[in-house]
Amino acid sequence: MGKIMTKKILCQKLKIEAEALSKAPFPGELGLKILNNISKQAWKEWINHQTMLINEYRLSMIEAKARQFLKEEMNKFLFEDSAEKPAGYTPSEN
């Protein structure tokens, strides 16, 4: 059995060549943009950032407004390098 080669991409977020995601995390154009430009490591960083936003802002994913906010923040985080942490946010020390 041959070793499965992991695909590498130039990650727009991390500015390095890194392991690509195995599939698009969203349907449609946005999913393809992430798949082709964002590494597995950067996506994991976004998931952590997203979790922090959901918890700090007590977002309900049932609300379209909350989902739209997260989509905008994801775009800032992954492609614009302009995502900010919520005011007064301090990470918990585990």
Domains of the chain, CATH where assigned = 24-80 (1.10.3880.10)
Q: What is the pLDDT of residue 94?
A: 47
Closest by CA position to 18, among listed 43, 45, 39, 37 = 39
72 pLDDT above the threshold of 70: yes
Separation CA 82–CA 73 (nearest Å): 9
pTM given for the model: 0.84
As a whole number of angstroms, the distance between CA 67 and CA 69 comes to 5
Residues 10-53 have pLDDT tens digits of 999 999 999 999 999 989 999 999 999 999 999 999 999 999 99
**Structure-block tokens of residue 93:** 């020390």
Residue 43's CB is within 10 A of a number of other CB atoms, namely 19
- Answer whether residue 1 shows pLDDT above 60: no
| Bridge partners, 21 (sequence order) | none
